[in-house]
Amino acid sequence: MTMNQNRTSDVVLVAVNDSRAAFAAAKVAVEYCAKVGAQLRAVSVIEASELDQHLGDTAALAQGRELAASAALNHVVASSSAANVTVSVTTRIGSVAAEILAEARESDAVMIVMARVSRPGHALPYVGSQTLRVLEFATVPVLVVPTYAQ
């Protein structure tokens, strides 16, 4: 990827949650930013499930999701700091793919980094439905990182 010479620093967006796969993607994004001098923007999207309405304590579920998002973003901040990469973070609420795409537009990202989910017991690689949506509608390159990249 060629850096845009008209900007002081390009922005790479990494989408994270509290999964091993997301941490592998974050590691790759941090290493890439360190190598090319880009800024990192990390986003974690909180998506309420229709199932939540049937589980009862929706406030507790929401709080748990917020804590998980915060933990994932803190992981990215720590990794970025260790690599001397400038990082900013945000949490968005809504549809995962739509919010990632919106964040990419709003932050003027030159690339989106996402994880490929692991499916225990399946021999074939699996790209999740949210990643497929981002791949379909993104206007910038999307790097999909396999879990084993960690």
Query: What does the pLDDT read at residue 55?
Result: 58
CA distance 94 to 108: 20
Range of the domain at 143: 11-149
Q: How far is CA 117 from CA 74, 95, 106, 126, 139, in A?
A: 21, 17, 26, 6, 22
Query: What does the pLDDT read at residue 124?
Result: 63
* Residue 20 domain-assigned (yes or no): yes
The total of other beta-carbon atoms located within 10 Å of residue 85's CB is 22
Query: What does the pLDDT read at residue 5?
Result: 47
Q: Over 90: is that where the pLDDT of 34 sits?
A: yes
Query: What does the pLDDT read at residue 28?
Result: 97
* Residue 120 domain-assigned (yes or no): yes
Q: Which CATH number goes with the domain that contains 21?
A: 3.40.50.620
* Residue 4 domain-assigned (yes or no): no
Domain count, the chain: 1
Give the tens place of pLDDT for each residue, 80-123. Answer: 999 999 999 999 999 999 999 999 999 999 999 999 876 666 66
- List phi, psi (to 5°) of 87: -135, 145
* Residue 41 domain-assigned (yes or no): yes
* Residue 110 domain-assigned (yes or no): yes
Q: Over 90: is that where the pLDDT of 137 sits?
A: yes
* Residue 103 domain-assigned (yes or no): yes
Question: Which residue do the tokens 């690599």 mark?
Answer: 83
* Residue 1 domain-assigned (yes or no): no
Q: Which residues contact 64 (CB under 8 A, 6 or more apart)?
A: none
* Residue 28 domain-assigned (yes or no): yes
CA distance 31 to 150: 11
Q: Over 90: is that where the pLDDT of 65 sits?
A: no
Q: How far is CA 14 from CA 7, 45, 59, 89, 139, in A?
A: 19, 11, 27, 10, 15
